[in-house]
Amino acid sequence: MTKAQYMDLQQIKQKLQAMRHELLEIESSASEAEKPVILDQQSVGRLSRMDAMQGQQMAQANKRRRELMLKAIAAAEHRIASGTFGECLDCEEKIAEKRLAFDPTTLYCLECMTEREQKRDA
């Protein structure tokens, strides 16, 4: 990959760092919502407990998504360091610059991603 073919890797690195920073800030502020729900019927009604449990489950699902995104960011940084950033994992062709600018963690070119989604949905 040459600089003429792709955006500046420094910009990509900065975007990845900003994404990580944002996820970690969300993580630190979201920890309260993940705490166990108190099941004391005297202090909280049944519907309120159900709402609290649903909120807790949503917070835990969001945490799992943040953890996956942090892993994707680390993998993108590894691909930059190894010189394989911007190559599709399936066909090894170059991923479109606009696609990488939108999501620098993307692993596949548009064609391969479309094929994967069609196979998954079949």
- Note the pLDDT tens digit of each residue in 28-87: 887 665 555 555 555 556 667 778 788 888 988 999 999 999 999 999 999 999 999 999
The pLDDT score that the predictor gives to residue 34 is: 57
Q: pLDDT tens, 82-105? A: 999 999 999 999 999 999 999 999
pLDDT greater than 80 at residue 113: yes
Task: Tell me the C-alpha distance between 48 and 28, whole Å.
Answer: 25
The pLDDT score that the predictor gives to residue 91 is: 96
Tokens representing residue 56 in the block? 């807790």
- Confidence band of 15 (pLDDT split at 50, 70, 90): very high
Evaluate the CA torsion angle 10, 16, 20, 25 in order and state its sign.
Answer: positive
Regarding predicted confidence, which is higher, 12 or 33?
12
The pLDDT score that the predictor gives to residue 42 is: 57
Helices (H), 31-89: 46-82
